[in-house]
Amino acid sequence: MSRYQELAGQIVKEHEKVLLDVPDRDVDRFLDEICKAKCIQVYGMGRMCMAEKGFVMRLMHMGFDAHEVYSTTCPNIGPGDLLIANGACTEVYSIIMRLAKKAGATVCAITPHPDGEWGKLADFVVRLRGQMSPGAPDGEIPSIQPMGALFEQTMLVFEDIVIQLLMEKCGITAERMARKHTNLDGYMSMD
């Protein structure tokens, strides 16, 4: 077995452990809140921002009014709206979460620490326990990867699983979603 295959096997096992650890009640609440939200806004910093972008794109493809916080087309937030804090872990998240709550929005934190500062700021939490901090403190599932790589990677996969669940819940097909995909990149017209 090559070193690549060895690392790939270990990392896939880490992902499986984190993703299968997410409580069903957290997923069910997340789906329900997304479905009832008038507008969904998602915030992520650094590599968690990559998951944010992919998630917002797929929500838009499904027909949800979804935006990235701080994008130039992001509207104001208020009652009936949902803020999703991807990896809530810094003071910047605290500020954004407080502002959203002050405006009357529902706030969700996706974090390994539901009892931490960001979990307490949120109206509800999705517990994703992948290592976010060096040394995997406080119940984070440890990783052989550096820093928060495991959390960041499983965030992307978790949110893609949520898209699959929303497709089932809302009766939305991939074909219907494809019709909302941009046609300016040439991808959808490749024959």
Say what the pLDDT of residue 26 is.
Answer: 97
CB 142 within 8 A of CB 119: no
Say what the pLDDT of residue 50 is.
Answer: 85
Average pLDDT per 10 consecutive residues for the chain, totaling 191 residues: 95 97 97 98 88 94 96 94 90 93 97 88 95 80 93 95 97 90 72 52
- pTM higher than 0.95 for the full model? no
100-106: long-range contacts, CB 8 A cutoff, minimum separation 24: 100/41, 103/76, 103/77, 103/78, 103/79, 104/78, 104/79, 104/80, 105/41, 105/77, 105/78, 105/79, 105/80, 105/81, 106/33, 106/37, 106/81, 106/82
Catalytic annotation on 152? yes
Say what the pLDDT of residue 191 is.
Answer: 52
Coil, strand or helix at 15: helix
Phi, psi of 58 (to 5 degrees): -70, -35
- Planar angle of CA 61, 21, 154, nearest 5 degrees: 45
Identify the structural domains of the chain with CATH numbers, from first to last: 21-178 (3.40.50.10490)
Q: Which of 14, 52, 68, 152 is catalytic?
A: 152
Say what the pLDDT of residue 127 is.
Answer: 95
